[in-house]
Amino acid sequence: MHHIGLAMAVALAFFIHPKSMRAEPTETPRRQEIGISGGHGFGVKFAGSGLGDGHEVETLVLLPHWQIEIWRSSAPSGTSGRPRLDLRVEGTALINFAPTTGYALGGGIFLRHHFADEARLSPFLHAGAGILALEFGLQDQADGLAFNPQAGVGLRWRWSPEVNVDFELRFQHISNAYTASPNRGIDSLQFLVGVSKRIEHRPHGD
């Protein structure tokens, strides 16, 4: 417990005192973007989930987002880029069309790590969790409140200084933490393509 408390204190200090912890000057604005991703998801059997009809789901996925930089490496900028970490707030709309029709709506908070921020091509990691209102009508999973932890990998293509295109493979789990029955879970893989536009934050008075 002592180590956990120490780690939390260090993390808190990182956000409260950016001058001492951030490599970028404080006058450098944090990068922000808005965008949307979409694609196709299909169910899989994984670690006891989806053994009934859960693995048969097929979904249309729509994910609008807002994203802001929370850390950037001080390594010299160049053709190879430099690492950056973003906080991402993402809406979720899932339209299910197999084995039954249904939908899920919600949102979540995620972290996205770009390995080569300014490069033409930059791989990234994505992880986080959200909350859904689920209406799939499955035998494996009760409808209602559900949680959807997820993780993914992808590649960002820098189309222009303001516009990026993302290609992503994401794993998503849906279950309700045993607040209702049945709760066998729905695991799925999602193939996503997204587009985002950088937005500028200007201090008041500029």
> Cα–Cα distance between 201 and 90 in angstroms, integer?
19
Looking at per-residue confidence, does 16 or 161 come out higher?
A: 161
Inside any domain, residue 16: no
Inside any domain, residue 187: yes
pLDDT digits (tens, 9 = 90+) for 35-65: 999 999 999 999 888 889 999 999 999 999 9
pLDDT at 201: 60
Inside any domain, residue 74: yes
Query: From the CB of residue 5, how many other CB atoms can be counted at a distance below 10 Å?
Result: 9
What DSSP assignment string belongs to 100-146?
S-EEEEEEEEEEEEESSTTSSEEEEEEEEEEEEEEE---SSB-SEEE
> Which of the four pLDDT bands, split at 50, 70 and 90, describes residue 13?
very low
Q: What percent of the chain has pLDDT over 70?
A: 81
Our count of domains for the chain comes to 1
Give the range of the structural domain holding residue 144, as residue numbers without chain letter: 29-199
Inside any domain, residue 2: no
Q: Please compute the mean of the pLDDT values over residues 63-84 and round it to a whole number.
A: 85
Inside any domain, residue 204: no
Inside any domain, residue 156: yes
pLDDT digits (tens, 9 = 90+) for 108-142: 999 999 999 889 999 999 999 999 999 999 999 99
